[in-house]
Amino acid sequence: MANTTPTQDTAAIVDQVLRLGEEADWVEVRPVGAVTKGLEGKQLASLGSMARSRSKVRVFSDDGKCVSDPVLMRRALEYVKGFGGVIAQHSQDPALTEGAQMNESTLSGELGLAGWPAVAEEAIIARDILLAKHVGSRLHVCHLSTAGSVDLVRWGKAQGVDITAEATPHHLLLTEQLAATYDPLYKVNPPLRRAEDVEAVREGLADGTIDCIGTDHAPHPARDEGLRVAGRRVRHDRPGDGAADHHRDDGEHGPHGLGGRRTRDVDCSRPDWPRGIAGPGPGRWRPRTRHPRRRHGPRDG
C-alpha cells in the first residue's frame, strides 16, 4: 500500500519501491499508488505519471485513510478510468470515527470505550458505489466489516457497477466480544464487529459478493504500540493486526461452504486480483526466515 515513508505518491517513489523489491527478491512487489498527495485528502497525487512509470501502477489507495471528499473521489475515479485503473477505498468517515476505539454497540458503552459505528463504513461505501456507477469507473472496497457493507456491495454488483471487495481473516473469525479483554491485540481498523456481521461477511465471501481475502497486515514496532491506561495498554494504541500469520489455518473450516478450496480461491496472493490486475502469480513467494516488525496477532495463545 501507499502509506509508506515516504508516501508512494509520485512515479519516482513507486519505482524506488519496485526496485527495492526486485533487489530483495523475496516476492514480486507491485506498488500501490496514493490517491492524494501525502495521503492528506486535499489534492490528487500524480496518478497519470505513476501509471506511465516503470511500475505501471494500476491500483491507487490512501489505505489507512479515507478519501472522504466526494469531489476528490469522483475526480480520482474519472482519472483512472482512462487507463483501466482501480481506486481502492478505505471506507471510514473520519468525522464519525474520531477517537473511536471499538465497534459502537451496547458492549462499547459497558466498557467505556468510544464507539466506531457501522454507518461510518457503510455511508462511504454507498457514496462510492454511486460515484463509480455515475462515472463508469472501477472501485475496490478494502476490508469491509459489516452486514450493511455486504448488502451494499451485493446491490452495487446487481446494478452493474464495476466493484470488487475484500474481507480480512479477523473479520471472518473474530467478534467484538474480544474487546472486553482490553487487549490491544484486538484493536484493529476497521474494528471487530458483532457476531451477526461476522456471519454476513462469511455469507458474502461464500456467495461471491466478496471477491477475495486480504490480510490487512499492519505491523508496528513495539515502541509505537501505545500507552498504558489504568494498567491496560489500550487507549492510544495504533490499530494493527498480525492476522497474516494465522489466516491460512483458521480459514480452512466453517459454515457457508468456506472450506479450504474457497479460501484459496479468494486469497489475494493469487493472480488477477483485483480482476484484470495481474498479481504476483504462483511460485513467486519464496519463504525464508521471516523478521516481522511485530511478532504477535489476535490468534496467539
Q: Residues with catalytic annotation?
A: 216
Provide the 10 A C-beta neighbour count for residue 293. Answer: 11
Q: Work out whether strand 115-116 and strand 102-103 pair parallel, antiparallel, or are unpaired.
A: parallel
Q: Work out whether strand 59-61 and strand 228-229 pair parallel, antiparallel, or are unpaired.
A: unpaired
Bin 257: left if φ > 0, else alpha if -120 < ψ < 50, else beta: left
Q: Work out whether strand 232-233 and strand 228-229 pair parallel, antiparallel, or are unpaired.
A: antiparallel
Bin 9: left if φ > 0, else alpha if -120 < ψ < 50, else beta: alpha
Q: Are 76 and 35 in contact (CB under 8 A)?
A: yes
The helix, strand and coil proportions of the chain, stated in percent and rounded to the nearest 5, come to 40, 10, 50
Altogether, the residues listed in the chain come to a count of 301
- 224 DSSP assignment: G
Q: Is 180 helix (H, G, I), strand (E, B) or coil?
A: helix
Determine the Cα angle at 74 with ends 72 and 76, to 5°: 70
C-alpha cell belonging to residue 165: 471487495
Provide the 10 A C-beta neighbour count for residue 67. Answer: 27
Handedness of CA 98, 103, 108, 113 (dihedral sign): negative
